[in-house]
Amino acid sequence: MEKLLQGILRFKDNDFEQHRELFEALGRSQNPHTLFIGCSDSRLVPNLITNTLPGELFTVRNIANIVPPYRHTEEYLATTSAIEYAVNVLNVEHIVVCGHSNCGGCKAMLSETDLAGLPHTQKWLELAGNIKETVFAEVPETEKGKREWMAEQLNIVEQLKHLLTYPFIKEKVMRHELSIEGWYYLIETGEVFIYDRTVGEFVLHY
């Protein structure tokens, strides 16, 4: 905790002072251009990898960067409500779904034992669809690393499909008022691969 408290002091003395006018403006309103949907993993830091300032990204983070398919319900839906607010109130121009290498959520998705005693996580990962079956059918059990890599990328593509189940998103995409992209972040190299729909693959962004 002491590390965090010291960080607050350094932020106030350095970063805040450097961007004082920006923070004063943000104190009254926000106008982010992008909804960034990322994994909760501590190694994924959206503003760091995109080199963006406060106020540019409206961020949603959860286990395995999942987007629940759209449905009209009375349940409490944190991710769905954040997406709704970003698109319909903040009028973001872009949505990015960003997964990453060595994702614990995707690894657990492929395992039975990793989810033992984690009923809520297990239920949440059901939203990843049939990724497990696809990976197991295409990659032999001996290649666990390749299985995880494939699951991480297929999961991003699955969530892009889920986004288009939201009527207000599909409408804006069709009118070219909103773009959606899938990113795969390689933690150990800092590289970002962007999903290319024309070839059905993630391509390195230079």
146-159 pLDDT, tens digit per residue, is 999 999 999 999 99
Please give the pLDDT value at position 78. Answer: 92
88 plus 181 within the same structural domain: yes
72 and 168 inside one domain: yes
For residue 150, give the amino acid letter: M
For residues 181 and 93, give the distance between their C-alpha atoms in angstroms, rounded to a whole number. Answer: 11
pTM across the whole model: 0.93
Active site residues: 39, 41, 43, 100, 103
> b/e per residue, 44-58, with b = 16+ CB within 10 A?
bebeebbeeeebbbb
**Quick one: 25 and 36 in the same domain?**
no
pLDDT score at 159: 97
CA distance linking residue 129 with residue 131, whole number of Å: 6
CATH assignment at residue 117 = 3.40.1050.10
For residue 112, what pLDDT band results from cuts at 50, 70 and 90?
low
- Which range of residues forms the domain containing residue 121? 31-204
Considering the domain architecture, whether residues 94 and 1 belong to the same structural domain is answered as no
Q: Out of 56-60, 71-75, 92-96, 122-126, which region has the weakest mean confidence (pLDDT)?
A: 71-75
Count of the separate structural domains present in the chain: 2
pLDDT band at 136 (very low <50, low <70, confident <90, very high): very high
- Kindly state whether residues 86 and 6 are assigned to the same domain: no
Residues 181 and 120 in one domain: yes
Are residues 68 and 89 part of one domain?
yes
Assign 87 a pLDDT band (cuts: 50, 70, 90). very high
Do 14 and 37 fall within a single domain? no
Note whether 101 and 198 are same-domain residues: yes
Note whether 71 and 125 are same-domain residues: yes
Q: Are residues 171 and 137 located together in one domain of the fold? A: yes
For 109, phi then psi, to 5°, come to: -60, -30
Asked if 151 and 112 sit in the same domain, the reply is yes
